[in-house]
Chains A and B, each alone.
Chain A
Amino acid sequence: MGDRLNGKVAIVTGAGASGPGWGNGKATAILFAREGAKVFGVDRSEEAVRETAEIAKAEKIAFTLRVADITEPDEVDKLVARCLELYGRIDILHNNVGIFELGSLDKDRDYFEHVQRVNMTSMFLMAKAVVPQMIEQGDGGAIINLASVAATHYTGAAYSIYATTKSAVIGFTRAIAMENAAHRIRCNAILPGVVNTPLALEPIRKRVGADEFQKILGERDAMVPIGRAATGWDVAKAALYLASDEASYVTATEIVVDGGLTAQFG
């Protein structure tokens, strides 16, 4: 138990993992709560977010769950109102929700718009609902948006649609940061590389046999200069820094958490 976020109220979207193990959002929600934040964890899956809540309960750390589809403005407004009713304020918005989808010009318009909606519209709606509250509180705030190295680099997989949404996250992050800098509301993005989360691994595990899966895990580790793929905790620790007062002078920028992956590409 630490105290780096003592007294702060944090909304974490996508706070449940999409499969067994630790996703970025689940690890971040638990880490924030371990550091003293009151975490309002949101997920579209009750089962997923309840599992996070059970972990928090066992650790005796503060976590409240909320089931919502944050691509719907009404649901976003309601969850923010509920968080305020409970905790009276919001200090941290961790926009973690996102889906990883392969696919490019082979996909249709509906698919393109679906990925935009989940990965980008959700962040827009959350920020739209939370920033006015942070301004009213008058003592700043921290917003963290999950982007990806796919926003800046082509890593060999065909995912132009996913890359588009994540590039948009960077532009959105800088714009929100600058528009609200005078209110001391900081907004930053995290760009993870190869991360072994349930979101990334479960589709592979379902597709291939156990031996093949182990081989792929080995390949994922070998891709990264530092010698291993990231875990949700690597991303969560970067988020903790950005959320804390230690980062009070850091805004409108990105932290790349990729073990050196993209530096290889220059």
Chain B
Amino acid sequence: MATISPEGRVVMVSGAARGLGRAIARRLIDDGYSVSLGARDIDALRAAHEGAPEAGRLFRSYNAVDPATAESWVDATVERFGRIDALINNAGILRQFALEDSDAEDKLDELYRTNVRGPLTLTRLAFLHLRRCGQGRVVNINSLSGLRVGRDDFVGYSMSKFALSALSHATRKAGFGDGVRTTNLCPSLMDTEMVEALGAPEELKIRPDSVADMVSMLLALPNTASVAELPINVFNEPGY
């Protein structure tokens, strides 16, 4: 077999109620994975996945700024399925400020809490289970802003996403010996609710389904094919 079968594997997806997280969750359900989905608004989460087969699904309230919800979500996942095979750190927020804005520090704290501390806590709590299964996968939904600084008002967003890149590579190194493969997945502008406010035309945004396909592929690759980083462009940018 060139790929690992989804059968019996359990995947946690954070921020699965909307945008890219919803697309990833749907794709993984279609693939046949058992999914444990977390989001702030549990009703929106259920509504987003209505009609999907009941078996092999768990919905939990998860707020990236509240580590206790990370713990209870990880616990509930292990209690229900007995294992965790993959973690998709998808939950993230966008806050814009430029270098000279007076609210820079406050917005940076907010970005770090969700985009950096959130994935750190989830990874740490799930790591034991990912290591135990011998072929764990972590996909950190990052951004091209985690690899280069783009817009002037993305100072804090980029800082938080660079930090997430560091977490991705640290996770890859820490888990490699136990078969945990980690990918720093870095799409450019996507067609999701989060970036709606930026007002870019649809044809200049990546479709969430395209990224969900890539996540599906990353989970299926065997231990012998580790993808450390995956930048995804929509524009022709110098360097990327």
Interface residues, chain A, CB within 8 Å of chain B?
A: 7, 60-62, 84-88
Contact = CB atoms under 8 A, between A and B. Distances in A.
Interface in B125-144: 125, 128, 131-132
A60 B131 contact: yes
Contacts of A85: 67-68
B128 A62 contact: yes
Interface in B65-98: 67-68, 71-72, 75, 79
Contacts of B121: 86
A30 B128 CA distance: 15
Contacts of A86: 67-68, 71, 121, 125
A89 B92 CA distance: 27
Contacts of A62: 128
Contacts of B132: 60
A231 to B, nearest CB: 27
Contacts of B178: 60
21 contacts: A7-B75, A7-B79, A60-B128, A60-B131, A60-B132, A60-B178, A61-B128, A62-B128, A84-B68, A85-B67, A85-B68, A86-B67, A86-B68, A86-B71, A86-B121, A86-B125, A87-B68, A87-B71, A88-B68, A88-B71, A88-B72
B126 to A, nearest CB: 11
> Which label, helix, strand, loop or mixed, suits the secondary structure of the A interface?
loop
B62 to A, nearest CB: 13
Contacts of B72: 88
A73 B171 CA distance: 35
Given A61-B128, A88-B71, 4 more contacts: A60-B132, A84-B68, A87-B68, A87-B71
A112 B128 CA distance: 43
A88 B121 CA distance: 13
Interface string B98-133: 000000000000000000000001000100100110
Nearest to B79: A7
Nearest to A56: B128
Nearest to A87: B71
A149 to B, nearest CB: 37
A248 B92 CA distance: 44
Closest 4 pairs (CB-CB, A-B): A88-B68, A60-B132, A85-B67, A87-B71
A255 to B, nearest CB: 31
Nearest to B131: A60
Contacts of A88: 68, 71-72
A61 B132 CA distance: 9
A65 to B, nearest CB: 12
A85 to B, nearest CB: 5
Nearest to A84: B68
A62 B130 CA distance: 12
A79 to B, nearest CB: 15
B97 to A, nearest CB: 28
Nearest to B130: A60
B174 to A, nearest CB: 9
A88 B68 CA distance: 5
Nearest to B174: A57
Interface string B144-184: 00000000000000000000000000000000001000000
